[in-house]
A = this chain, B = another copy of it.
Amino acid sequence: MAFPGPIARLIEELNRLPGVGPKSAQRLAFHLLGRPAEEARRLAEAILAARERVRRCEVCCDWTDAPVCRVCSDPRRDATKICVVESPKDVAALERTGRYDGLYHVLHGAISPLSGVGPGDVTIGRLLERLRAGGVQELILATDPDVDGEATALYLKDVVAPLGVRVTRLARGLPEGGDLDFADELTIARALEGRREL
C-alpha cells in the first residue's frame, strides 16, 4: 500500500538513518504520528538545533557548541599528550574509561586508498600544526584496529617522525571478559606478539 505523501516521506527519511530498515522506519514514523505532537516537534527541533549550534572545535576538531571544546579548554588536562581518533564517538568512548587525562585530535575519518579518502580529506593538516606549535611529547594513535585505521596510523607515524614526538599505538590483544577460543586468529596472534612479563 502506498502511504499518504507526508507519511511516505517521513518513512523515507527515517530509512536513511544507519541501522533503520524499511520496517523500523515505518514503526518509528507511526510512533511519531501516534505520540503527542509536542514530542515529535521536540525531536525535529533537537535535530535542527544540533546542526545549527554544533561545530568542530578550533583546536581538536571534536564536536562542540563553543569555539573551543570542553576538553581543550580544561586546564587540568595534560597538554603534552594528544590522542588521535577517527571520530567524536571515539572521544566519548575513551572519556568513558576515565583513564585518559590528555587532549584529543579528531580526524573525522580514516585514510582509505580503496575508498579514495586521502590525507587531505581528514584533519591531519590541523594535527601537524598543533604538533609544530610545540609542547606535545606523546601522540597516541587510537585509530580503529582495522585496515583503514592501521593505514592511517602508519601514515601518521611517518609524517610525525621528523617532529621528534613520541608516537604510540593502543595495545592489541584479547578483549576483557571474552573466551580465548572465541577470539579470531588475528586477535590471538596479536595477543601473542604483544605478550608481557607478569
Contact = CB atoms under 8 A, between A and B. Distances in A.
Contacts of A47: 10, 13, 32, 40-41, 43-44, 47
A95 B4 CA distance: 14
Contact of A50 (B10, B53, B87, B95): B10
Contacts of A168: none
A4 B43 contact: no
Given A5-B53, A18-B31, 12 more contacts: A4-B70, A7-B63, A12-B46, A13-B46, A13-B47, A17-B32, A19-B27, A30-B88, A33-B63, A34-B108, A37-B51, A40-B50
B40 A7 contact: no
Contact of A64 (B4, B41, B42): B4
Contacts of A43: 13-14, 16-17, 44, 47
18 contacts: A4-B66, A5-B65, A7-B54, A12-B46, A13-B43, A17-B28, A18-B31, A30-B87, A32-B51, A33-B54, A34-B108, A37-B51, A40-B47, A40-B51, A41-B48, A41-B51, A44-B44, A44-B45
Nearest to A39: B16
Query: How many copies of this chain does one complex carry?
Result: 2
Interface string A53-71: 1100000000111100110
A112 interface: no
Given A9-B49, A37-B51, A18 B28 contact: yes
Contacts of A50: 6-7, 9-10, 29, 32-33, 40
A24 interface: yes
A195 interface: no
Interface in A81-97: 87-89, 91-92, 95-96
